[in-house]
Amino acid sequence: MPDSSPPTVCPYSKGCPLYPMFSMESVLHMWMALYCEADFSRCERYLLRTSGAQVPPSMMPNGKNLSDYPGIKTGK
């Protein structure tokens, strides 16, 4: 019987351009646990991409820019 439950992991999680921006895996995993593997329907990146709009690479799931978090080390 096919699984009809809604997906719990974001369909864009494979190759999400945000992932390589983090140099610390623990920080990335925290964001993933909050959005990508939980409630991705509230991710601003997901919503923009689903609407067909361009998604700034450094936009965080909450809509802020990665540069708004100077404590987060980036991979780029």
> Rule CB under 6 A: which residues touch ligand SF4?
10, 12-13, 16, 18, 35-36, 40, 43, 45-46, 61
Instruction: State in angstroms the smallest separation of the CB of 60 from ligand SF4.
Output: 8
* Shortest Å distance, C-beta 1 to ligand SF4: 28
Residue 36 C-beta: closest distance to ligand SF4, Å = 3
Backbone angles phi, psi at 10, to 5 degrees: -55, 135
In whole angstroms, give the CA distance from residue 57 to residue 22.
12
Which amino acid does the sequence have at 51? S
Q: How many residues does the chain have?
A: 76
